[in-house]
Amino acid sequence: MKLVTVVGARPQFVKCAPLSREIRKEHTEILVHTGQHYDPEMSDVFFRDLAIPEPDYHLGVGSGSHGEQTGEILARIEQVLLKEKPDMVIVFGDTNSTLAGALSATKLHIPVAHVEAGLRSFDRSMPEEINRVVTDHVSDLLFCPTRTAVRNLADEGITRGVHLVGDVMVDALEYNRHIAAKKSRILERFGLPPGGYLVVTVHRPANTDNWEHMDAILSALGESGQPVLFPVHPRTKKMLNEFGCWSVLPKNIIVTEPLGYLDMLQAMANARKILTDSGGMQKEAYLLGVPCITLRDTTEWVETVEDGWNVLVGADRGKISEAIVAFSPEKTRSMIYGEVGASGRIAKILGRRSGLSGG
């Protein structure tokens, strides 16, 4: 079976790595990197750390408005699909690359497999929510990480081709966390004591493009008095430059360029708490057993909140400060994202689809 896999952003590189290892045992994979994340620290380092094969195609789309970026990716992927004539296209998650890959394949009557299907924040103001919904409705195989995701699809009338496989991120963390512990020197580099610092990431426009939100977040971090490791996303760096706030950044915040996957994994695994507006990092925090404070009012990873390991605080300075001090999960984590092996289960289903054994 000939598969085209579309990736373009950090979370997709992480999910692609374990799945690519499995599907290449039985199938031919053509890897397409859209270039949605084009900064070397947001792209190249992940391919290196995760030992992902070099992309067969690098579309080099770069930044732009949501419509501009999605349209450009769609047009360029179409040319790849016309040339390669794959049996199926695989997309991950909820980015513009996800939507463009799914739409391009659908227009050419090529079946689509969506890894991480069925997630919903029920917040249509988020571009990612639109991407999720549309991608699910044009997909032929929908690989769900949780039972909640399966129910969400059923509520929208999608029941064919739905498979509860667990989360490929479990595979990624299990494979890489021990490698990170051996290879990464991130804690020594910044003098961070295990369990004695915070990690924060901010990249969503609702926060980065709003000075009041950024000021509230940074002020709450300053009030914590704890070391705060802050890998700055290129978009966030651009907006902080525009706001001219570097000179008033609290002294306990350690600013660094975006980290590679192994360094970021080691930093998260040893943090006291993680603060983020990233969907993927909420789940990574949960899988690592680190309390997560989410700088949003909604989340697609509702199970992390229901299980008591994630709290939604938005960009409210008081709520952020309170959560840094007082938020503490009171129960052990459940197996809500399944056991290791989601990548193998997906490969087996793909194998059945093509008439192969799938290993």
Which residue is catalytic, options 33, 203, 213, 233? 203
Q: Rounded to whole angstroms, how far apart are CA atoms 139 and 209? A: 33
SS3 of 170-206: the string is HHHHHHHHHHHHHHCCHHHHHCCCCCCCEEEECCCHH
Encoded amino acid at 8, one letter? G
In which element (H, E) is residue 29 found?
strand 28-33
Q: Rounded to whole angstroms, how far apart are CA atoms 285 and 169? A: 11
| Plot region of 118 (φ>0 → left; ψ -120 to 50 → alpha; else → beta) | left
328: tokens are 């503490």
Residue located via tokens 């040319």: 79
Q: Rounded to whole angstroms, how far apart are CA atoms 161 and 351? A: 14
Q: Tell me the Cα Rg of the chain.
A: 20
First to last CA, the chain: 14
Q: Rounded to whole angstroms, how far apart are CA atoms 198 and 276? A: 11
Is 66 an active-site residue?
Answer: no
Q: Which residues pair with 275 in a beta bridge?
A: 200, 293
Task: Say what angle helices 261-269 and 168-183 make with each other, to 10 degrees.
Answer: 90
In which element (H, E) is residue 115 found?
strand 112-115
Kindly state the DSSP code that residue 352 receives in the 8-state scheme.
Answer: H
Q: Rounded to whole angstroms, how far apart are CA atoms 156 and 355? A: 30
Q: Rounded to whole angstroms, how far apart are CA atoms 163 and 294? A: 28
Residues marked as catalytic:
203
